[in-house]
Copies of this chain bind each other. A is one copy, B any other.
């Protein structure tokens, strides 16, 4: 009998998320994870010393501030933040994101603090 495999629908996963700034894992590729997250407002300055981090915007308009500038990322666009580069995401209104990064990366990098989300939570 032929099996029917299921694709992962971003909107369906996001609809199950009620809290902001809490990335939820939806898939893995080798030792990398795909995470969806809803964000709104300001985050904290942080970096990831050991890895690049990919942002794909699914809806809304994301701004990422750097110490020397900024990038604006809209729906249907992506940006890779290089490892070790300090950044601060900002969303004037809600933004829905797909994040891609190695398993084990914390949302606040090495900055820590009360904005650190629980890691490796699936939706």
Contacts and interface: CB of A to CB of B under 8 A. Distances in A.
Q: How many copies of this kind of chain does the complex include?
A: 2
A38 to B, nearest CB: 16
Contacts of A71: 4-7
A69 B4 CA distance: 6
Interface of A: 2-11, 26-30, 32, 34, 51-54, 57-58, 66, 68-74, 76-80, 83, 100-102
Given A5-B71, A29-B101, 18 more contacts: A2-B68, A3-B66, A4-B69, A5-B66, A5-B79, A7-B78, A7-B79, A8-B79, A9-B74, A9-B76, A10-B77, A10-B78, A27-B54, A28-B80, A29-B54, A30-B51, A30-B83, A100-B100
